[in-house]
């Protein structure tokens, strides 16, 4: 048994296949580069299709609301604003009124689910209320700042 372990196993050499004529022709032909990509060549067709789709799915026009003209770039909370009233056509300093909005209602519901005896707390907090600006003359709502 010791003689079988020490004798090397001889393998027959592997024969390599001969290259075919098509493989030789492919190896001899030069590599051809593809044409350069031009994104502008396809742009008009895509733009036209998108425009047509956008027009087909556009929402119907709605009745236009009277625009509110506010002076200044931004509005801060708890500050009256100088605005043009669309109803009485006067430039007025707004009156501020607070009302429970979506955020206040959601916090009230959440508090009721978690600890129902304290559900009333978000209803008393100004930070959970929307700020409504009204014309002091005709009481028309000029704008609303959500909580």
Among residues 94, 89, 106, which one has the least CA distance to residue 131?
Answer: 94
Taking the C-alpha atoms of residue 48 and residue 54, their distance in angstroms, rounded to an integer, is: 10
**Domain-embedded: residue 93:** yes
Domain contains 141: yes
pLDDT for 68: 42
Per the structure, how many domains does the chain have? 1
95 within some domain: yes
Please report which helix (H) or strand (E) contains residue 70, including its range.
strand 69-70
What pLDDT shows up at residue 127? Answer: 86
In a domain, 33, yes or no: no
* pTM of the model as a whole: 0.47
145: DSSP letter: E
Strand-pair partners of 95:
134
What is the maximum alpha-carbon separation in the chain? 117
- Phi, psi (degrees; rounded to nearest 5) at 95: -95, 145
Q: Whole domain around residue 131: which residue ranges?
A: 83-145
> Do the beta carbons of residue 70 and residue 83 sit within 8 Å?
yes
- Report if residue 15 sits inside a domain: no
Given this model, what pLDDT does residue 16 score? 62
Average pLDDT, consecutive stretches of 10 residues, N- to C-terminus, the chain (147 residues): 60 63 63 70 52 55 44 67 91 92 91 91 89 93 88
List the end-to-end C-alpha distance of the chain, in Å, as a whole number: 92
């Amino acid at each position: 048994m010791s003689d079988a372990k020490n004798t090397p196993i001889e393998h027959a050499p592997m024969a390599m296949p001969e290259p075919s004529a098509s493989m030789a022709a492919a190896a001899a032909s030069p590599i051809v580069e593809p044409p350069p990509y031009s994104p502008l060549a396809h742009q008009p067709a895509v733009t036209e299709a998108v425009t047509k789709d956008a027009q087909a799915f556009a929402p119907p026009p709605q009745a236009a609301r009277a625009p509110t003209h506010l002076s200044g770039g931004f509005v801060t909370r708890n500050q009256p604003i100088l605005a043009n009233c669309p109803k009485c056509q006067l430039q007025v300093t707004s009156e501020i009124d607070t009302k429970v909005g979506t955020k206040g209602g959601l916090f009230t519901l959440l508090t009721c689910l978690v600890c129902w005896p304290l559900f009333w707390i978000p209803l008393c907090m100004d930070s959970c209320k929307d700020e409504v600006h009204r014309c002091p003359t005709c009481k028309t709502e000029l704008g609303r700042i959500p909580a």
